[in-house]
């Protein structure tokens, strides 16, 4: 078939090109590149809602003369020969190496500063914090503002080096805000400090200067700490000696949960329950004396980041020092806190909690089936390449004889549409009030993400180390180790190493070795997106313009003719998952769809007249997101492919 003329539309301009159906589509894309300057690797070509693939033929597309192809992508300069010689890794600077290597760096010990180093590394496991710190700019007006700015700059500097970074500016600002961390020993050296005090003080200091992530549904947004790290605890006091005394009910802010350790505490969960249900003594106005009261506390607002403090240090009067409780206390990698909630909050979170448990079971089964199929295909391929093949009589090798639980390629649901289906299922059972509370947990299941451990016998000495789940800092695929072999980073000041989950499980105490002291639990899985009517209106206004181009907020766009519906639009976006490279992350529709820090979504569709986008009528889909994703520098913690 001879070549014929077709039209391409890019950036509002239409051009005519020759298309030769005897040549593969990649040749046509190269011609588009020459005409528009859009590189082939960043180019998407659509015809009637379908994406033109780089196949060897035009099968399934059937190009015709006069057709119009929509070209999506940003034009760049035409290719030029390299102005500098190719640079090899051994010739790169520290900054250049850091940009291509994914191993996180440690922090130098500036003199008994392991308490700060371990805290900073553990806080790094909260992706929303990285996003919230970005707007902290301008001239710092308070010491707390300067501390938040120093933390942000420390994280940025850690991403530009492969050597341990000295957090001198952060340390200086910490001591300026909290002079206790500048205390010196009798020998004139800076004294060892308590990592829990450092953690709590830094979180408190960030309440004001670090803004919350914008929510379209909140007229007066809270700070980041109030959204994502602060809960509320409702406490009921009931007299055990005066039945006529009315109960006293109070609600207080909660930045951490204490796990009390007694002589019978073997598990973290039971230690937490002991701290929430205890008998105390206080003055009774009615009895005019000290009386015993039952103190019962339950969580009434659950943040998506939950800190557990193992209360291992206590004051020994005989030696006038803080001593350490060495007892072994097992902690879970997955934490269910339903029984720690008020009755009202439990009723709101229970449906989503049960749904997530079912979804997790399905995900495990899909991973198992894929691996089983992959192993089977590998065995089949290995047998096919041998010199001989053998069969055993009495064994039917026809497909009908396959075991009923044997996975087949067509039986395993693709992961991208499965995740979309799961999000929709979760969204349907989330309580509306919880959905509107930005940063609040929408269910009661948490996963262990980071730990600060203490090694030694007393709080005045010893050594702190940070441990962070590898998946919290970078994107892992399905081939990553699981179970006891799951990988974690160990941050021993500037020495960084990889350990397995099996090693993490040994940090439960029983001696002077590294023992879990602070544990950061994050809400299990990405938060389902909340529908925003305000974003929906914004998307509708953009769609009504019938201009296939992006605004300033990075909305997702899709257009197609005929019966091009929402499912087809979302599929176009999620199909880009195969093009995502964790080692060289680039913004795309797919990365915005799965962006972890995004909490709200609003979409709209309009029917555009013929001649506006396509020669014929077309359905134009627009989705707006808040906070918007695709933030350069934050792909590893937000795109969990």
Active site positions, annotated? 114, 463
**What residues pair up with 465 in beta bridges, in sequence order?**
453
Cβ-based neighbour number of residue 316 at 10 Å: 12
**What residues pair up with 16 in beta bridges, in sequence order?**
7
Strand 600-608 to 530-531 pairing: parallel
Please report, in angstroms and rounded to a whole number, the separation of the first and last CA atoms in the chain.
42
Residue 202 gets the label, from left (phi > 0), alpha (psi -120 to 50) or beta, of: alpha
**What residues pair up with 521 in beta bridges, in sequence order?**
306, 448
H, E, C per residue of 412-466: CCCHHHHHHHHHHHHHHHCCHHHHHCCCECCCCEEEEEEEEEEECCECCCCEEEE
CB 491 within 8 A of CB 466: yes
CB 46 within 8 A of CB 52: yes
Please give the helix or strand (H or E) that residue 70 lies within, else none. Answer: strand 68-72
CA 429/CA 348 separation, integer angstroms: 9
Contacts of 493 (CB under 8 A, 6+ apart): 106, 107, 108, 109, 114, 117, 164
Polymer length of the chain: 641
CA 118/CA 25 separation, integer angstroms: 53
3-state secondary structure of 329: coil
């Amino acid at each position: 078939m001879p070549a014929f003329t077709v039209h391409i539309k890019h950036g509002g301009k239409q051009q005519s090109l020759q298309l030769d159906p005897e040549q593969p589509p990649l040749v046509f894309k190269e011609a588009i590149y020459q005409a528009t300057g859009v590189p082939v690797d960043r180019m998407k070509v659509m015809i009637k809602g379908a994406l033109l693939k780089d196949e060897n033929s035009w099968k399934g597309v059937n190009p015709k003369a006069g057709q119009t192809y929509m070209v999506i992508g940003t034009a760049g300069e035409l290719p030029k020969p390299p102005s500098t010689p190719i640079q090899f890794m051994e010739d790169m600077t520290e900054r250049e190496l850091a940009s291509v290597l994914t191993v996180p760096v440690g922090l130098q010990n500036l003199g008994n500063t392991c308490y700060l180093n371990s805290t900073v590394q553990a806080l790094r496991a909260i992706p929303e914090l990285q996003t919230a710190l970005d707007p902290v700019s301008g001239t710092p007006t308070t010491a707390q503002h300067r501390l938040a700015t120093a933390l942000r700059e420390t994280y940025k500097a850690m991403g530009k080096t492969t050597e341990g970074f000295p957090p001198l500016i952060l340390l200086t600002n910490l001591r300026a805000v909290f002079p206790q961390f500048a205390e010196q020993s009798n020998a004139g050296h800076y004294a060892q400090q308590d990592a829990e005090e450092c953690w709590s003080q830094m979180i408190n200091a960030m309440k004001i200067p670090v803004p919350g992530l914008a929510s379209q549904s909140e007229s007066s947004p809270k700070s980041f700490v109030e959204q994502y790290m602060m809960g509320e605890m409702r406490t009921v006091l009931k007299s055990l000696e005066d039945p006529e005394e009315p109960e006293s009910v109070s609600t207080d802010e909660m930045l951490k949960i204490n796990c009390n350790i007694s002589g019978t505490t073997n598990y973290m969960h039971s230690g937490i329950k002991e701290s929430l249900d205890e008998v105390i003594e206080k003055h009774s106005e009615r009895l005019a004396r000290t009386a015993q009261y039952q103190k019962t506390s339950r969580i009434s607002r659950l943040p998506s980041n939950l800190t557990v403090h193992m209360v291992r240090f206590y004051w020994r009067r005989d030696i006038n020092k803080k001593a350490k409780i060495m007892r072994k206390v097992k902690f879970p990698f997955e934490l269910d806190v339903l029984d720690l909630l008020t009755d009202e909050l439990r009723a709101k979170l229970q449906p989503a909690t049960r749904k997530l448990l079912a979804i997790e079971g399905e995900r495990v089964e899909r991973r198992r089936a894929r691996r089983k199929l992959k192993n089977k295909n590998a065995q089949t391929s290995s047998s096919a390449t041998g010199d001989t093949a053998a069969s055993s009589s009495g064994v039917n090798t026809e497909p009908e004889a396959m075991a009923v639980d044997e996975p087949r390629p067509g039986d395993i649901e693709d992961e991208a549409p499965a995740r979309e289906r799961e999000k929709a299922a979760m969204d349907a059972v989330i309580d509306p009030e919880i959905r509107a509370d930005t940063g609040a947990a929408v269910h009661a299941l948490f996963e262990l993400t980071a730990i600060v451990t203490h090694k030694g016998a007393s709080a005045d000495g010893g050594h702190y180390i940070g441990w962070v789940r590898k998946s919290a800092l970078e994107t892992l695929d399905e081939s990553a180790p699981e179970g006891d072999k799951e990988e974690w980073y160990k941050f021993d000041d500037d020495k960084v190493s990889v350990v397995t989950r099996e090693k993490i499980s040994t940090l439960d105490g029983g001696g002077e070795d590294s023992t879990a002291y602070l544990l950061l639990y994050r809400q299990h899985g990405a938060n389902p997106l909340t529908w925003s009517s305000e974003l929906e209106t914004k998307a509708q206004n953009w769609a009504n313009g019938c201009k296939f181009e992006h605004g300033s907020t990075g909305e997702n766009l899709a257009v197609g003719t005929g019966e091009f519906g929402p499912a087809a639009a979302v599929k176009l976006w999620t199909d880009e998952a195969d093009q995502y490279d964790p080692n060289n992350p680039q913004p795309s529709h797919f990365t915005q769809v799965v962006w972890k820090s995004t909490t709200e979504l609003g979409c709209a569709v309009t029917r555009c007249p013929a001649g506006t986008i396509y020669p014929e009528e077309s359905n134009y889909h627009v989705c707006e997101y808040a906070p918007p994703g695709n933030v350069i520098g934050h792909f590893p913690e937000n795109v969990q492919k």
